Amino acid sequence: MKGTTALVTGAAGGIGAAVARALAEEGAAVALVDRTQEGLDRLAADLAADGHGVLALAADVRSDTEARRAVAAVEDRLGPLDHLVNAAGVLRLGPAWELTDDQWAESIGVNATGVFTMSRAAAARMVPRGRGAIVTVTSNAAGTARKGMAAYAASKAASEMFTKCLGLELAEHGIRCNTVAPGSTDTPMLHSMWAGAADRARTLDGDPAAYRVGIPLRRLAAPEDVAAAVAFLLSDSARHITMHTLTVDGGATLGV
Count the domains in the chain. 1
Q: What is the pLDDT of residue 37?
A: 87
In a domain, 52, yes or no: yes
Of 113, 152, 177, 242, the catalytic one is 152
Nearest of 112, 175, 109 to residue 138 by alpha carbon = 112
Nearest of 141, 134, 121, 26 to residue 87 by alpha carbon = 134
Q: What is the pLDDT of residues 9-48, one digit of tens each?
A: 999 999 999 999 999 999 999 999 999 888 899 999 999 9
Q: Is 152 a catalytic residue?
A: yes
Q: Residue 176: what are its φ and ψ, rounded to 5°?
A: -100, 140
In a domain, 173, yes or no: yes
Q: What is the pLDDT of residue 36?
A: 86
In a domain, 237, yes or no: yes
Q: How far is CA 240 from CA 14, 108, 124, 178, 252, in A?
A: 29, 30, 22, 11, 27
CATH code of the domain containing 185: 3.40.50.720
Q: What is the pLDDT of residues 196-239, one digit of tens each?
A: 777 888 889 998 998 999 999 999 999 999 999 999 999 999 99
| Domain assignment of residue 197, given as a range | 5-246
